[in-house]
Amino acid sequence: MSFRAAPLLVLPLCLHGQVGVSMNRYDANATGANTHETILNASNVNPAGFGKLYSYYVDGAVYAQPLYAPSVSIAGHGSRNVLYVATMNDKFYAFDADQFGPPLWMRDFTDELAGVVPVPVIDITGRGDLNIVGNVGIEGTPVVDPAARAIFAVVRTRENGAYVQRLHKLDMAGGRDMQPPAVVEAGAKSSADDAVNGVVKFDPKAGNQRPALALVHGDAGMAAVTTVVIAWASHEDIQPYHGWVMAYDAATLKQLGAVCVTPDGIEGGIWQSGRGPAVGQDGSIYFEVGNGDWDGVKNFGSSLLRMSVGRSGLTIDDFFTPRDYEALNKRDADLGSTGPLLIPGSNLLVAGSKNGTFFVLDGHNLGHMTPDNKGALQTVETKGGRMLAGPAYWEGPAGPAIYQWSESDFLKAYHFKDGRIDPDFFAKGSVSSRGSPGGTISISADGSRAGTGIVWGTITNGGSADHGNTAGVLYAVNAETLEALWNTQQNVKRDRLGTLVKFTPPVVAAGKVYIPNYDNAVNVYGLLPAAR
């Protein structure tokens, strides 16, 4: 079975040059850049001409990145550009992406009278003021398959005391199930302490489905195969837990494979600050794994994995593990925080860690673990605190660049030359992050054209969102110079962001910026009417 990567997330779906945002961080490489933005640029994003236009109101916090699809035919509404929004209260919305108003449709996966509700996080953690506040419903960013006109999402519910996770395949036009949903179940041969009769099972109550979903397209004999790839971690490191990756046939929702990354040990959660895997053109699937046991054979805590789906199911094909993984485990400084970024047109990966280290790796030869980290092509110490939401990539007028806004640092831009990161950043922003999670960034630009690149990023308004909630600020800066252009605090009455949802990046599409807050809303920013 041979595989190729899903098409770029920012991909044409209709006439008139409009593009869709079908996946977390825009594309299969996880670059975090929409390079098809022709309306917003560094000259018209300013306090006088740019600001909040309106907000969509929803039931529940929005952890999943909103997704955008142009020219979707909606019964009773005609063809609309649609913004899809999923909430932690297990509601899924489709809004007209061009104007304020009620949803075009809404799907409710709960039935309170029948005892079906979103999972209260207090059921899992015993507290409601930690990493997640409130309920746990749809958390990982769904993924759209434009060709199939389908959306894939994992929904978590508590059903009369039982905890269930299901993979749904929804019709983009109305939210109906296109296939019966698949109940998420898996087991692996295990000698771990929590194994029963030599098998460790996936726990639908404890398994935290935070990473974004991804698609891999392939060819198995005569039949085309599209695979939905999903990963899980834990809540608050409550023991026992294991990291899991599963693959499902996108046509039938049949499970094609499931891998526990620490079957004979503990931990190894895959969370990646909400990012999905990077997916190569050859179908390689790259995940970062958090703290956990490691033996380089079956257990792969604190590692970067290359996986694939083939006739033998889902397999781990290669790995990289930092030489000091045991020390990183003890300090909770795992590799698994940012998720990998695959440099377009190459096999090179950029991965970050809570230790503030960039690793540049050869995706076709990850290098395993060596005493001197020679498996990595390069390591760069950024000295900016923890890397959480991770980097973005843009090939601007000055060439390829990596952007990173770490937890205790300024936004920085690094040249990426000859397959390496230049450790001497070429630009630094003027605003320092002073608390978790640092900056969650994305980029918009019209290709590589000068004057069009903008880095959009959210940080806290001086507090920490590590546990509990705090206010946030949205910034726009010139991607070539990191000169400040605009932020939501310059005209608070008009533009206020609200309570920050950590790890959820700004989404830029067709001249608008969509960003959720924790106040049951998605704010929409754009050029003000007087400026058009």
Rounded to the nearest 10 degrees, how much is the dihedral formed by the CA atoms of 330, 439, 156, 278?
A: -80
| Among candidate residues 427, 423, 400, 399, the one with its CA nearest the CA of residue 413 | 427
The predicted structure's pLDDT at residue 222: 32
User: Is residue 92 exposed (0-12), middle (13-18) or buried (19+ Cβ within 10 Å)?
Assistant: buried
Q: Is the dihedral of CA 477, 391, 68, 139 positive or negative?
A: negative
**Residue scoring higher pLDDT (44 or 2):** 44
Question: Is the link from the previous residue into 437 a cis peptide, with omega within 30 of 0?
Answer: yes
Domain annotation for the chain: domains and CATH numbers: 2-531 (2.130.10.10)
Q: Calculate mean pLDDT across residues 304-309.
A: 97
**Residue scoring higher pLDDT (141 or 371):** 141
Q: Calculate mean pLDDT across residues 77-101.
A: 98
Asked if residue 17 has pLDDT above 70, the reply is no
Asked if residue 10 has pLDDT above 60, the reply is no
- What is this structure's pTM? 0.95
The predicted structure's pLDDT at residue 371: 87
Give the model's confidence band at 532: pLDDT under 50 very low, under 70 low, under 90 confident, else very high: low
The predicted structure's pLDDT at residue 38: 97
CA 259 to chain centre: 20
Give the model's confidence band at 12: pLDDT under 50 very low, under 70 low, under 90 confident, else very high: very low
How far is it, in rounded angstroms, from Cα 214 to Cα 223? 20
Asked if residue 489 has pLDDT above 90, the reply is yes
How far is it, in rounded angstroms, from Cα 66 to Cα 25? 11
Asked if residue 415 has pLDDT above 90, the reply is yes
Asked if residue 522 has pLDDT above 50, the reply is yes
Asked if residue 1 has pLDDT above 60, the reply is no
How far is it, in rounded angstroms, from Cα 530 to Cα 14? 29
Give the model's confidence band at 223: pLDDT under 50 very low, under 70 low, under 90 confident, else very high: low
Q: Output the CA–CA distances (angstroms, integers) from residue 202 to 205, 248, 383, 449, 461, in the order listed.
A: 9, 15, 37, 48, 38
Structure tokens that stand for 194 in this block: 């929590």
